[in-house]
Amino acid sequence: MKYVDEFRDPVRAGVLLKEIEALTAQIMAGRDRPVVIMEVCGGHTHSIFRYGIEKMLPPEIEFAHGPGCPVCVLPMGRVDDCVELAMKPEVIFTTFGDAMRVPGSRLSLLGAKAEGADVRMVYSPLDALALARANPDREVVFFGLGFETTMPSTALTILQAQAEGIGNFSLFCNHITIIPTIKAILDSPDMGIDGFLGPGHVSMVIGTDPYDFIARDYHRPLVVAGFEPLDVLHSVWMVLRQMAEGRAEIENQYARIVPRHGNEASLAAVTEVFELREFFEWRGLGSIDHSGVQIREAYAAWDAERKFAVASPSIPDPKACQCGEVLKGAIKPWQCKLFGRSCTPETPMGALMVSSEGACAAYYQYGGIDAVPEPAQ
């Protein structure tokens, strides 16, 4: 299979669905609750809703939408730090587009831009470095955001800035790591996850070996999955097959992209520039040990947190916002009291409604907003 339409073949999908139904019946014969599979990656959340995959599956299978959307887990205090940096007259603040609308306690970056801050959307950290090159009298700050997927490009940009001696470029580092996050979910007292669809893009960088503890210590299957409809269905089938056979292993459905040991060149660049933080705060999940990275002392000259003495206050989400429960799989997006009412993609109150990979935004767009029940009077 080489072409995208092969991964969207309805005949092949029908065969997989029949196999999934048979495995589900076999598993349900010995249990009285649904099978809960968490897709860790926001890209999978988007695919599941976009292609209506959840509606194709037996009702006994439920998806829990995990914390794999980096924009969605960005805490409000870090957004406030971005706004503070962007409002400095000497700063050109650069960011990916989906971070522009994440709400802070007072403003988003888009709101700061409306109030006069020089906030610019870029497609790569190298675009930000080019701005620094072209504006030597300004400080260009790049908002580094994302899991291990985007860390290599950021690390390589800092190495390039060092090589060229560009001193007016810096990184506001908010990169986060996937493994401690999954462990925090597994350790939560209300954890009801039976298996995982592992992230495809992150695994392309880190490989599959780092997930071994999930099967070894927690006895849960994880299948690294691709993003096309047949990828997702095949991965669900692989998780269910493990459950039916009483196995818990790490399997790689996305082997056409993901090598077992990851991308060694990317990992080398990440290790050179970054080191683990003692802890990092996540929106809706609280503080998780060793779940973020910071710039090593050797590259402190390109660290915006050191250069501008960023405060990083801890600010709670609005009380009615239930992003944390959605992220842990405790509730569905539409069960949040704000969903589709005061919280929409046009006026997001929670971060899960901002990015297209957020569970709430994906459900709002593809899940059938008309089906959301009205609140009780």
Statement: residue 264 has pLDDT above 80: yes
Which domain, by its residues, includes 146?
Answer: 76-178+283-307
Give the residue with greater pLDDT, 356 vs 308: 308
What's the mean per-residue pLDDT of the chain? Answer: 91
Residue 7 lies in a domain: no
Say whether both 195 and 172 belong to one domain.
no
- Provide the pLDDT confidence category of residue 375 given band limits of 50, 70 and 90: very low
Statement: residue 188 has pLDDT above 90: no
Say whether both 99 and 174 belong to one domain.
yes
Give the 3-state secondary structure of 266-306: HHHHHHHHEEECCEEEECCCEEEECCEEEECHHHHHHEHHH
Amino acid 93: pLDDT:
98
Statement: residue 208 has pLDDT above 60: yes
Q: How many domains does the chain have?
A: 3
Give me the long-range contacts of 214-221 (CB less than 8 A, separation at least 24): 214/182, 214/186, 214/248, 214/250, 215/248, 215/249, 215/250, 218/186, 218/248, 219/248, 220/186, 220/193, 220/194, 220/195, 220/196, 220/248, 221/195, 221/196, 221/247, 221/248, 221/249, 221/250, 221/251
- Provide the pLDDT confidence category of residue 348 given band limits of 50, 70 and 90: confident
- Least confident range from 18-22, 121-125, 191-195, 252-256: namely 191-195
Statement: residue 9 has pLDDT above 50: yes
Statement: residue 112 has pLDDT above 50: yes
Residue that the structure tokens 């009285």 belong to: 32
Q: What is the mean pLDDT of residues 41-47?
A: 89
Say whether both 103 and 154 belong to one domain.
yes
Residue 234 lies in a domain: yes
Q: Looking at residue 92, what DSSP letter applies?
A: E
Residue 168 lies in a domain: yes
Pairing of strands 61-68, 195-198: unpaired
**CA separation, residue 198 to residues 227, 238, 247, 251, 357 (Å):** 11, 12, 17, 9, 15
Say whether both 238 and 106 belong to one domain.
no
Q: Please give the share of the chain, as a percent, with pLDDT higher than 90.
A: 67
Each residue of 55-68: pLDDT tens digit?
Answer: 999 999 999 888 88
Say whether both 243 and 290 belong to one domain.
no
Say whether both 194 and 241 belong to one domain.
yes
Amino acid 254: pLDDT:
97
- Least confident range from 45-54, 113-122, 262-271, 346-355: namely 346-355
Say whether both 106 and 63 belong to one domain.
no
Say whether both 193 and 240 belong to one domain.
yes
Which domain CATH number covers 231? Answer: 3.40.50.11750
Handedness of CA 6, 8, 13, 16 (dihedral sign): positive
Statement: residue 316 has pLDDT above 60: yes
Say whether both 165 and 85 belong to one domain.
yes
Residue 82 lies in a domain: yes
CA angle at residue 315 from 353 to 348, to 5 degrees? 15
Amino acid 287: pLDDT:
87
Residue 344 lies in a domain: yes
Global pTM value: 0.88
